[in-house]
Amino acid sequence: TSSTKSSYELVTLTTWLLKQEQAGVIDNEMTIVLASISTACKQIAALVLRAPISNLTGVQGAVNVQGEDQKKLDVISNEVSDSTGKLNIPTRSSSTAINQEHDARVQVFSNCLKSSGRTGVIASEEEDVPVAVEQSYSGNYIVVFDPLDGSSNIDAAVSTGSIFGIYAPNDECLADVEDNGTLDSVEQRCVVSVCQPGSNLLAAGYCMYSSSVIFVLTVGTGVYVFTLDPMYGEFVLTQEKVQIPKAGKIYAFNEGNYALWDDKLKQYMDSLKEPGDSGKPYSARYIGSLVGDFHRTLLYGGIYGYPRDKKSKNGKLRLLYECAPMSFIVEQAGGKGSDGHQRILDITPTEIHQRVPLYIGSVEEVEKVEKFLA
Ligand code: AHM
Ligand code: MG
């Protein structure tokens, strides 16, 4: 039986990817891109694990394009290891060096993707505009990612995560920066090719840095969960074809914003607290880390929400590299991702860093909030 599987049957992410390739589910370029992303995640996991020791915690000093303080690890996670695969771990005294590296866009996620030689365009939460990979290294895939989401949790060693999505090749943006016009036009073309609806996603996933390091992936054939075995440094398949429960009595919202919400949403929130027939109201759980809150919702059922409010009319989360990948994953698990009125995957972004309200999780729970908001 499956409960007595011997260790000979361990499937690593590498083996799994090769099997998908063999079966024609993904092509060999996609295999390389996904393998590179998993390497970036392992490097970030190592940095997160050692953060207090490496003196990497605290505000980095720069403010990113969205006017937020960037934590040091946000910046470093965006930076990729150099081509030798060695990670530059800056110390406190080298914080200027961190800035310079960031400016030079020598980036962990970006470098892994560049060295994969299969990625044409990269768009990240930590970059103002999408970056076209130099032609000599360029491949076709478009990768969007948030290298370290929930980084305000870092100082307390609470869960964080990386989120990514992969879109189809787009010739529009195979840019040769030297020969084909100005940087501006290249950037413009990159913005256009990156701004696709989530329904075009070919693959999406996240890596959660928590009590275990968990890599969750879909290539459009269900949701697969891999756990990093620290003994071998390999991601090992631990759950396949994950299905989110149809309903679940756990909600994850930042209720501190209650007074800023509109009345319909307040009524929905109040309804969750009614004991009802079962005598038991919903339970509140909120980490403040999308990946952590989402992963729990995926496994236990329930709903995660980041609504619009009086101050932020589109909520807080980003459509392209947070909400769309998570919505693709949740749908692949039989759940739902909505902005309260429409399917997240149907929305075409017009801007890279566009925000959107998000309600995501069990079908019945998402439909319930949609009814209140209608
Ligand atoms: P970040 O991308 O700046 O890290 O912000 C995203 C995070 C999510 O992980 C989390 O769900 C949300 O912000 C929490 O926001 P708040 O503190 O407003 O509840
Ligand atoms: Mg984020």
Q: Whose CA is nearest to atom 6 of ligand 1?
A: 150
Which helix (DSSP H) or strand (DSSP E) does residue 229 occupy? strand 224-229
User: Are 229 and 318 contacting, i.e. CB atoms less than 8 angstroms apart?
Assistant: no
User: Are 362 and 296 contacting, i.e. CB atoms less than 8 angstroms apart?
Assistant: no
Nearest ligand to the CA atom of 306: 1
Nearest ligand to the CA atom of 145: 2
pLDDT of residue 226: 98
Centre of ligand 2 from the C-alpha of residue 286, in Å: 16
pLDDT of residue 47: 85
288 lines ligand 1 (CB under 6 A): yes
Confidence of residue 120 (pLDDT cuts 50, 70, 90): confident
77 lines ligand 1 (CB under 6 A): no
Note the helical H segments in 128-274: 183-194, 263-272
Residue of 71, 73, 146, 306 to mutate, ligand 1, most atoms within 8 A of C-beta: 306
Centre of ligand 2 from the C-alpha of residue 7, in Å: 36
State the greatest distance between any 2 C-alpha atoms of the chain, in Å, as a whole number.
69
pLDDT of residue 170: 65
DSSP-assigned letter for residue 68: P
pLDDT of residue 141: 87
Neighbours of 199 (CB within 10 A): 15
User: Residue 150: which region, alpha, beta or left (left: phi > 0; alpha: psi -120 to 50)?
Assistant: left
pLDDT of residue 124: 82
150 lines ligand 1 (CB under 6 A): yes
pLDDT of residue 87: 37
Of residues 84 and 370, more confidently modeled: 370
Beta bridge partners of 167: 142
Residue 129, pLDDT above cutoff 50: yes
Residue of 254, 316, 354 to mutate, ligand 1, most atoms within 8 A of C-beta: 316
Centre of ligand 2 from the C-alpha of residue 304, in Å: 15
Beta bridge partners of 83: none
290 lines ligand 1 (CB under 6 A): yes
Residues with CB under 5 A from ligand 2 (ion): 146, 149
pLDDT of residue 88: 38
State mean pLDDT over 14-32: 95
Query: To the nearest whole number, what is the mean pLDDT of the chain?
Result: 83
Q: By C-alpha distance, which of 287, 211, 215 is closest to 251?
A: 287
**What confidence tens digit (pLDDT) does each residue in 30-75 have?**
999 999 999 999 989 988 888 887 655 444 444 455 656 566 667 6
pLDDT of residue 4: 57
Tell me how far apart the alpha carbons of residues 136 and 114 are, in angstroms, rounded to a whole number: 10
pLDDT of residue 48: 86
User: Are 321 and 125 contacting, i.e. CB atoms less than 8 angstroms apart?
Assistant: yes
3 state SS for 118-167: CEEEEEECCCCCCEECCHHHCCCEEEEEEEEECHHHHHHCCCEEEEEEEE
Strands 250-252, 283-284: pairing is parallel
- Computed from CA positions of residues 23, 26, 31, 36, in that sequence, does the dihedral angle turn out positive or negative? negative
Of residues 97 and 372, more confidently modeled: 372
pTM: 0.85
Nearest ligand to the CA atom of 164: 2
Which helix (DSSP H) or strand (DSSP E) does residue 215 occupy? strand 213-218
Q: By C-alpha distance, which of 292, 26, 57 is closest to 161?
A: 292
Q: By C-alpha distance, which of 307, 323, 320, 313 is closest to 351?
A: 320
**What confidence tens digit (pLDDT) does each residue in 335-368 have?**
999 999 999 999 999 998 999 999 999 999 999 9
**What confidence tens digit (pLDDT) does each residue in 205-240 have?**
999 999 999 999 999 999 999 999 999 999 999 999
Q: Whose CA is nearest to atom 7 of ligand 1?
A: 150
Centre of ligand 2 from the C-alpha of residue 125, in Å: 7
Tell me how far apart the alpha carbons of residues 231 and 43 are, in angstroms, rounded to a whole number: 15
Centre of ligand 1 from the C-alpha of residue 369, in Å: 20
Checking ipTM against 0.95, whether it exceeds it is yes
Q: Whose CA is nearest to atom 17 of ligand 1?
A: 288
297 lines ligand 1 (CB under 6 A): no
Q: By C-alpha distance, which of 150, 90, 144, 100 is closest to 306?
A: 150
Residue 19, pLDDT above cutoff 90: yes
Residue 9, pLDDT above cutoff 70: yes
Which helix (DSSP H) or strand (DSSP E) does residue 103 occupy? helix 95-103
71 lines ligand 1 (CB under 6 A): no
Which of 135-144, 171-180, 281-290 shows the highest mean pLDDT? Answer: 281-290
Centre of ligand 1 from the C-alpha of residue 150, in Å: 5
State mean pLDDT over 102-112: 56
Atom of ligand 1 nearest to the CA of 291: 9
**What confidence tens digit (pLDDT) does each residue in 299-332 have?**
999 999 999 999 999 999 999 999 999 999 999 9
Centre of ligand 1 from the C-alpha of residue 153, in Å: 9
Atom of ligand 1 nearest to the CA of 317: 6
